[in-house]
Chains A and B, each alone.
Chain A
Amino acid sequence: MVERTPFLNFFTHVILFVGFVLCIAPFVVVAIAASHNLRDVNDVPMSLLPGSDFWLNIKTAWTTADLGPKLLNSFIMAAGVAAGKVIISALTAFSIVYFRYPGRTLIFWLIFVTLMLPLEVRIVPTYAVVANVLSPYQAILDVTGLSWLIEKVSGVQVSLSLGLLNSYSGLIMPLIATATGTFLYRQFFLTVPDELTEAARMDGAGALRFFIDILLPLSRNNMAALGTIMFLWAWNQYLWPLLITTDQSHATAVTELKQLIPNVGGIPEWNIAMAGTLIVMLPPLIVVVLMQRWFVRGLIATEK
């Protein structure tokens, strides 16, 4: 029951406003710091009136950290992860919801268990696999004695190797598997009436046809929501890109921000660091603003 009185209205708005200020304040400080020159930014306390060096700082940050290619890298990675997650989770959920096959429940629970294994937990084995994607197969060959046999018979030493370090696929692929997305899709597919599936069968559509013609268009709000969330998530990834990009050419914007953070004993150029932060925050913001309409619809309500 929602009561509406002038006092309550006022009170709730005050709470909302305080919350808003708490959320926005750090960003305001960042923006102000980014507009100061070197001396003003190191004043204690720092002046909360904007300075005049905003564009200069932005330009310096851009060139110092070489943000152009790094932002592109970040974008490729985030978009790749988001797209991959959307496709993979739609397909997995489709299989789990619409097909009866042995091991279905097992697969469902395996996916569920990965919720408890975030990247940070499995980072060492994941790194090992990405360093040489074929190493598990090599291990199988070694353990079973097949590589020994092959070497004896043909004289060829079996040594499979496919490294993905410092590549976009290495950045993207280990982040794609997603239990969250699969469950989001599963919940959505369960709300699609059975009669729709049956109507499609009567119309002669096979499984894949039904998936592409009926399920995917119906789930476009879902796709937008999942895509947006996952884009932000991937954009903000730090540990994984840091670990597997030893080469500058594939580094992402978020990891490269550290180039701008002053070293101990160096020049305390916090204004430049803040300007760089602002630049890196911008693309996710644009994505959220653009996708907001579908995004919210996908999360709160199913279409009538």
Chain B
Amino acid sequence: MASITIRDVKKSYAKMQVVHGVDLDIATGEFVVILGPSGCGKSTLLRMIAGLEDISGGEIAIDGTVVNKLEPRERGCAMVFQNYALYPHMSVAQNIGYSLKVAGVPAAERTQRIQAVARTLELEHLLDRKPMALSGGQRQRVAMGRAMIREPKVFLFDEPLSNLDAKLRVQMRSEIRKLHRRLNATSVFVTHDQVEAMTLADRLVVMNGGRVEQVGTPAQIYSRPASRFVATFVGAPAMNILEGTVELDGLSLLGGSRRLAMARAGLPVGSKVAMGIRPEAARLVTPGTPGALNATVDLVEELGAGRVIYVDLDGAPFSVMTSEAVHPEPGSAVGLKISPEDMHFFSSETGTRLDVFKASVPEPAL
């Protein structure tokens, strides 16, 4: 049980800086997921917490103790690796018990603790097998067992589910979640899979280009993305973005073909703004309905429970997700209705969220 404090942590390799000053507080017992595209520095950050990478700048503290200079074994972290990293020549029991053996725990106590961990993970019947004779999911569980047996202060997961097939991934996901509820240990989980991130996280950290873009609960991240990057990265299909320009009494969209009447709330006339609308927030209506946008259907993707309808909105691509039983033909005209509260605005220059529009005008009208 431990809290982790990360203060202005930086990492550079030779001339390349990959992590640019990250600040993060992780509370005791919290399950934090770091989400980001590959190369965003999320794994590097995790490995710095683990002690596998040197920290180029800033400070990491576990339970109030600065661990920058400590060896991995002195930090009280356990890690689950992407490729499991099981010792191929050792049996499952030896793999799980290796850290205890290194620590000089007597054989009798070791066996007892291995048994206890194996019982929790339902590995009892596999203890004598070698990793090569195990399936992917079983290997994954052994890797978790190896982390659990040390009763670490902090669990670190480095994309542990990405080598599993889809079905097993969902199953292991809920097992990790259950395990966390039982052990209640502070956990940091790195992934590039947003579904994994959303379902597992108490709190989500979205990273991009070595910086933290947003920290919040999955619901906060989804409903109030702090930047254009977060908005388009979280959610599938991705959020639609319409580029616009601020005018005297509103917003000109789609190269001037649409106008959104609203007060411009201090933004200089002519500044560029991006409007984001989630595909699941737009509603399909009959074309010509007052206040609706007219569009042409390009493509319909059947998902079983719903459909993603890709439409052409005055030359801009736009997607709509609907669970209604509508099946518009490609080429036909549809109307789109979007509520003002579902519109997100971002600065085109910095990508940051702009809340000025909503605050100033309760009901903008297209």
- A residues touching B (Cβ–Cβ < 8 Å)? 193, 195-196, 198-205, 209, 213-214, 217-218, 303-304
Partner of B81, one of A195, A204, A213, A214: A195
Interface-facing stretch out of B82-90, B265-273, B352-360:
B82-90
Closest beta carbon of chain A to B53's beta carbon, Å: 10
Q: Does B52 contact A (CB under 8 A)?
A: yes
Instruction: Write the chain B residue with the least CB distance to A219.
Output: B89
Given contacts A201-B72, A202-B50, A203-B146, contact A213 B98 (CB under 8 A): yes
Cross-chain contact A201 with B52 (CB below 8 angstroms)? yes
Chain A residues within 8 Å of B88, by CB: 218, 303
Q: Which residues of B contact A214 (CB under 8 A)?
A: 87, 89
Residue of B nearest to A197 (CB): B85
Could you pull out 13 A-B pairs where Cβ atoms are within 8 angstroms?
Answer: A193-B83, A198-B52, A198-B85, A199-B87, A201-B71, A201-B72, A202-B79, A203-B73, A203-B98, A204-B73, A213-B98, A214-B87, A217-B89
Instruction: Judge whether B72 and A202 touch: CB under 8 Å.
Output: yes
Q: Interface size on B (CB < 8 Å)? A: 24
**CB-CB under 8 A for A199 and B85, given A204-B73, A304-B132:** yes
A214→B72 CA distance, assembly (Å)? 18
User: Would you call B325 an interface residue if the criterion is a C-beta within 8 Å of the partner chain's C-beta atoms?
Assistant: no
Bound-complex Cα distance A199 to B73 (A): 11
Do B78 and A202 touch across chains, with their CB atoms under 8 A apart? yes
Chain B residues with a Cβ under 8 A of chain A? 50-52, 71-73, 77-79, 81-83, 85-89, 98-99, 102-103, 132, 146, 150
Chain A's closest residue to B97 (CB) is: A203
Q: Which residues of B contact A196 (CB under 8 A)?
A: 85, 87
- Least CB separation from A210: chain B residue: B102
Chain A neighbourhood of B50, CB < 8 A? 202
Give A304's nearest chain B residue, CB to CB: B132
Complex: how many Å from CA A225 to CA B214? 55
Give B73's nearest chain A residue, CB to CB: A204
- Residue in B closest to A204 when the chains form the complex, CB atoms: B73
By a CB distance below 8 angstroms, the chain B residues around A202 are 50, 52, 72-73, 77-79, 99
Distance to closest chain A CB from B333 (angstroms): 55
| Nearest A residue (CB) for B132 | A304
Q: Are B81 and A198 in contact (CB under 8 A)?
A: yes
The residue on A at minimum CB distance from B79 is A202
- Give B133 Cβ to nearest chain A Cβ, in Å: 11
Query: Which 10 pairs of residues, A with B, have the shortest CB-CB distance?
Result: A204-B73, A195-B85, A203-B99, A199-B85, A217-B89, A204-B102, A195-B81, A201-B72, A202-B79, A205-B102
Question: Bound complex: CA of A209 vs CA of B98, how far in Å?
Answer: 11
Known: A198-B52, A217-B89, A304-B132. A204 touches B103 (CB 8 A): yes
Bound form: Cα–Cα A204–B104 in Å: 11
Do A209 and B102 touch (CB < 8 A)? Answer: yes
Chain A residues contacting B146 (CB-CB under 8 Å) are: 199, 203
CB-defined contacts of B85 to chain A, threshold 8 Å = 193, 195-196, 198-199
In whole angstroms, what is the CA distance A245 to B176 when docked? 68
Closest to B47 in A: A198
A201 to B77, CA, bound (A): 11
Closest Cβ of chain B: how far from A211's Cβ, in Å? 13
Select from chain B the residue with minimum beta-carbon distance to A205.
Answer: B102
How far apart are the CA atoms of A214 and B94 in the complex, in Å? 12
* Distance between Cα atoms of A218 and B86 in the complex (Å): 12
> A98 to nearest B CB, angstroms?
14
Interface centre among A193, A213, A303 (most CB of B within 10 A): A213
Minimal beta-carbon separation of A294 from chain B (angstroms): 14
**Most A CB atoms within 10 A — which of B78, B83, B85, B99?**
B85
Are A204 and B99 interface neighbours, CB within 8 A?
yes
Q: Please name the residue on chain B nearest to A218 by beta carbon.
A: B89
Chain A residue contacts of B102, Cβ below 8 A: 203-205, 209, 213
Name the distance in Å between B55's Cβ and chain A's nearest Cβ: 16
Cβ distance B97 to chain A, nearest Cβ, rounded Å:
10
Shortest beta-carbon distance from A302 to chain B in Å:
10
CB pair A201–B81 under 8 Å, yes or no, is no
- Among A203, A213, A303, A304, find the residue whose CB has the most chain B CB atoms closer than 10 A: A203
Q: For A303, give the chain B residue with the smallest CB separation.
A: B88
CA distance A201 to B74 in the complex (A): 10
Compute how far the CA of A214 lies from the CA of B146 in the bound complex, rounded to whole angstroms: 15
Chain B nearest CB: distance from A224 CB in Å? 14
**CA of A107 to CA of B274 in the docked complex: distance in angstroms?**
59
What residues of B have a CB within 8 angstroms of the CB of A193 in the complex? 83, 85
Inter-chain contacts of A217 with B (CB < 8 A): 89
Distance in Å from the Cβ of A157 to the closest Cβ of chain B?
52
Give complex CA distance A261, B51 in Å. Answer: 67
Docked complex Cα distance between A202 and B102 (Å): 11
Inside 8 A of A213's CB, which chain B residues have their CB?
98, 102
Q: How far is the CB of B46 from chain A (nearest CB, A)?
A: 12
Are A201 and B132 in contact, CB atoms less than 8 angstroms apart? Answer: no
Contacts of A200 on B, CB cut-off 8 Å? 87, 98
Question: How far, in whole Å, are A196 and B73 apart by their CA atoms in the complex?
Answer: 15
Nearest-CB distance from A195 to chain B (Å)?
Answer: 4
Q: Which residues of A contact B83 (CB under 8 A)?
A: 193, 195
Assembled-state Cα–Cα distance A304/B130 (Å) = 12
Please give 18 more A-B residue pairs, beta carbons under 8 A apart, in addition to A205-B98, A213-B102, A303-B88.
A193-B83, A195-B83, A199-B79, A199-B85, A200-B87, A201-B52, A201-B72, A202-B52, A202-B73, A202-B78, A202-B79, A202-B99, A203-B73, A204-B73, A204-B103, A209-B102, A213-B98, A214-B89
